[in-house]
A and B are shown apart, each in its own frame.
Chain A
Amino acid sequence: MEKLHLHYDVEGNDFIAAGEASGQVKRALRQLGIDFEVIRRCAICMYEGEINMVVHADGGTADVMVEKDKVTIILEDRGPGISDMELAMQEGYSTASQDVRELGFGAGMGLPNMKKYSDSLEINSEVGKGTKVTMVIHIPG
Chain B
Amino acid sequence: MRIQRVREVLDASVLCGEELLDREILSACAADLMSDVLAYVKTEALLLTGLTNTQVIHTADMMDINCIVFVRGKMPSQELIEYGRKHDMVLLSTPHKMYYASGLLYNAGLGACR
Contacts and interface: CB of A to CB of B under 8 A. Distances in A.
B58 A116 contact: no
Q: How large is the interface on A (under 10, 10 to 19, 20 to 34, 35 or more residues)?
A: 20 to 34
B51 interface: yes
Given A19-B58, A116-B39, A40 B64 contact: yes
Interface residues of B, number: 22
Please classify the interface of chain B as helix (H, G, I), strand (E, B), loop, or mixed, using the class held by over half of its residues: helix
A103 B33 contact: no
Q: For the complex, would chain A's binding face be called helix, strand, loop or mixed by DSSP majority?
A: helix
A35 interface: no
B55 A103 contact: yes
B35 A48 contact: yes
Interface stretch (A5-13, A70-78, A105-113, A120-128): A105-113
B114 to A, nearest CB: 16
A48 B63 CA distance: 12
Interface string B43-68: 10000010101111011011110000
